[in-house]
Structure 1
Amino acid sequence: MDKSNPPALPLAVAAILGVFDKHASKGGDPTKLSVAEAKELIREQMGPMCEEAKNQPDVTQILQSMDFDGDGEMDIMEFMTFLTCYACACYGKVCEMKGRRK
């Protein structure tokens, strides 16, 4: 492997984890995003894309639908599920969420 050109996926995962850690460490439990931290992360990282969307869902509603354990926060698994669904939507696919909390 050429060290001057590292693979894209490990770099992407490191970037995602870095963004999560940066926002989760601002207060409370450093392993979870509070609603305020998650809203800030979404505005900072996805703001322009969200503003261009025709149907702009309420961020709080999105976060509640991703809170599978009902603790009012988003852990790394819930965050990665959110990002997976977001990536599928960007790719033009609907994300089916099996076992989702109602």
Structure 2
Amino acid sequence: MTTPTKTEVAMQNLMDVFHEYAKKDKHTLNKLQMKQFMETELGQLCKNKKNVESFDKMMKDLDFDGDGEVNFEEFVSFVAGVMFSCNEIYVKRKEQQAKEEACQLKK
């Protein structure tokens, strides 16, 4: 048996987290479950986003099929969007660190 790759482990973890918060019978997240997911799993990223109105808009934007709940496809789309934003910040920080290191080498 081979050891799963980092990507395979990440995928399994994402599925596990979704189903941990999802309704057992429907495999979807309602508004309360999505809010619990965000507060628990993304607390550091969402700590300044307590605005109910913006949460409602986000839920509406995520709900592609209009059923009032977030299915796995919609959930993955949300997580991907968060990851894109985090990656932009990561890249900018790495670029800034490289510039600072280059400046220190010149001194």
TM interval, short-chain normalised: 0.7 to 0.9
Q: Which has the higher helix share?
A: 2
Counterpart of 1:10 (choices 4, 8, 11) is 8
2:23 is aligned with 1:25: yes
Between the aligned partners of 2:35 and 2:55, the Cα distance in structure 1 is: 7
What is the alpha-carbon root mean square deviation over aligned residues? 2.1
Identity %: 27
Amino acid at match of 2:15: L
Alignment of 1:38-53 (within 5 A): 38-51=34-47
The alignment of Structure 1 onto Structure 2 pairs a total of residues equal to: 86
Q: Mark the runs of 5 or more structure 2 residues left unpaired by the alignment.
A: 90-107
Structure 1 unpaired stretches of 5+ = 94-102
- The answer to whether residue 66 in structure 2 is matched with residue 66 in structure 1 is no
Q: Which amino acid aligns with 1:76?
A: F
Task: Please tell me the residue identity of whatever aligns with 1:30.
Answer: K
Higher radius of gyration, 1 or 2: 2
CA distance in 2, matches of 1:43, 1:30: 22
Q: Normalising by the residue count of structure 1, what TM-score does the alignment of the two structures yield?
A: 0.74
